[in-house]
Amino acid sequence: MSTIEIILIGVIILLLFGGKKLPELMRGIGRSMKAFKNAKDEPAHK
């Protein structure tokens, strides 16, 4: 993705969710990514 595409996506998200909801949304995404990375690193139990 180019820088312009990333900025455009950010502006669209800001318009859809508004400034007050954005930090909460980003926290949720961060937690989800962290949980996914932790689950990916753990060995599968059989």
Supply the mean pLDDT for the chain. 84
- Residue 15, φ and ψ in degrees, nearest 5: -65, -40
Alpha carbon distance 38, 33 (integer Å): 9
pTM, rounded to two decimals: 0.52
- For every residue of 3-39, DSSP letters joined together read HHHHHHHHHHHHHHHHHHHHHHHHHHHHHHHHHHHHH
Q: Where are the domains of the chain?
A: 1-41
Q: 42 near 33, Cβ under 8 Å?
A: no
pLDDT value for 31: 93
pLDDT band of 5, cuts 50, 70, 90: very high
